């Protein structure tokens, strides 16, 4: 099995049990499909990085030998690698959720069950200062507490404050009309507005209350402002779409100059009984994704922030090869 295939198999598994020497684990996500987790570990090998949720019953075992060195055992596979230190949420990034809560009730997301909390600009600055020597960028995301307009203003104020660090800044929020322009005017490097589902019908089912047309419009406006390789959209693999429907979504996004982030479903909340996508399906979609990116002159290696720069949760063409 090559390294890309191994990562696909690990994404299908989704979890790991960590043994050996103690290790600092990433805190659970506070927004989006990964929210509500119990912590995770970033295991890297041969230039590949994968994020696995901690589960004491997992069939994937990572033995920490000390100083980050580790051995992963998965069936007959034995792979040497390292457990990467986490800055904020992921390696080499200050990836910060501003509003830890949400007015929306997406069926794959645990956020509504959490206690709502809003980070102040002062808290965010302090968090970044604590990891400033270990990061290459700042990534800002948020749920929606109050209203999308209120949440956007909180995010804009944070962006004004973090410019002092002179690092690339990426932003992923629920957009409003004019959001891309406001972010661009503040010097944001890249943006991610998430379609989440491959079809409009699935979007309506999975993301009630959200406006898919608004998200599509924000993505297309962003390509004009930020350029290719700096506009992204998460699309979850495994919500019930067919392969043809996922491929059509990937094709449409790539042709518009948007890099899709194909996120294998992490079953929880209303979808806790859904199966994880198989490694074979992840690989098949990956190959199609890779071809469409190349066909449209898109290169994930040029991403400076957010999920495409991390790659822990997704099989990313150009980076995971």
DSSP for 32-51 reads STTBT---EEEEEETTEEEE
Q: Which residue has the higher pLDDT, 116 or 92?
A: 92
What does the pLDDT read at residue 38? 63
Listed in sequence order, the residues at least 6 apart from 166 whose beta carbon sits closer than 8 Å to its beta carbon are: none
Q: pTM (2 decimals)?
A: 0.94
Strand partners, 43: 50, 83
Q: Provide the terminal-to-terminal Cα distance of the chain, rounded to the nearest Å.
A: 13
**Neighbour tally for 133: CB within 10 Å:** 7
Q: pLDDT digits over 208-265, tens only?
A: 999 999 999 999 999 999 999 999 999 999 999 999 999 999 999 999 999 999 999 9
SS3 call for 261: strand
What does the pLDDT read at residue 206? 97
Q: How far apart are the C-alpha atoms of 7 and 320, rounded to whole Å?
A: 8
């Amino acid at each position: 099995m090559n390294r890309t295939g191994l990562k696909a198999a690990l994404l299908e598994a989704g979890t790991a049990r960590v043994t050996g020497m103690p290790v600092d684990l990433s805190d659970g996500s506070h927004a989006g499909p990964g929210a509500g987790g119990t912590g995770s570990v970033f295991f890297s090998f041969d230039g590949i990085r994968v994020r696995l949720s901690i589960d004491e019953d997992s069939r994937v075992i990572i033995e920490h030998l000390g100083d980050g060195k580790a051995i992963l055992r998965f069936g007959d596979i034995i792979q040497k690698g390292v457990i990467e230190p986490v800055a904020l949420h992921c390696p080499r990034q200050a990836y910060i959720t501003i509003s830890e809560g949400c007015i929306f009730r997406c069926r794959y997301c645990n956020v509504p069950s959490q206690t709502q909390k809003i980070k102040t600009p002062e808290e965010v600055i302090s968090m970044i200062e604590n990891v400033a020597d270990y990061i290459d960028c700042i990534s800002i995301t948020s749920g929606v507490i109050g209203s999308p307009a209120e949440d956007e203003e909180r995010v804009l104020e944070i962006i004004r404050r973090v410019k002092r660090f002179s690092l690339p800044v990426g932003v992923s929020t629920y957009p409003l009309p004019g959001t891309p322009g406001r972010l661009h005017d503040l010097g944001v490097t890249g943006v991610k507005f998430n379609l989440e589902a491959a079809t409009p019908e699935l979007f309506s089912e999975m993301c009630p209350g959200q406006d898919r047309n608004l998200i599509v419009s924000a993505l297309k406006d962003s390509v004009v402002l930020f350029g290719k390789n700096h506009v992204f959209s998460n699309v979850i693999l495994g919500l019930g779409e067919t392969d043809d429907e996922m491929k059509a979504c990937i094709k449409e996004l790539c042709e518009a100059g948007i890099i899709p982030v194909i996120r294998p479903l992490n079953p929880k909340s209303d979808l806790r009984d859904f199966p994880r996508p198989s490694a074979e399906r992840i690989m098949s979609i990956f190959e199609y994704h890779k071809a469409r990116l190349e066909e449209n002159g898109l290169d994930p290696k040029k991403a400076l922030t957010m999920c495409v720069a991390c790659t822990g949760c997704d099989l990313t063409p150009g980076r995971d090869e």
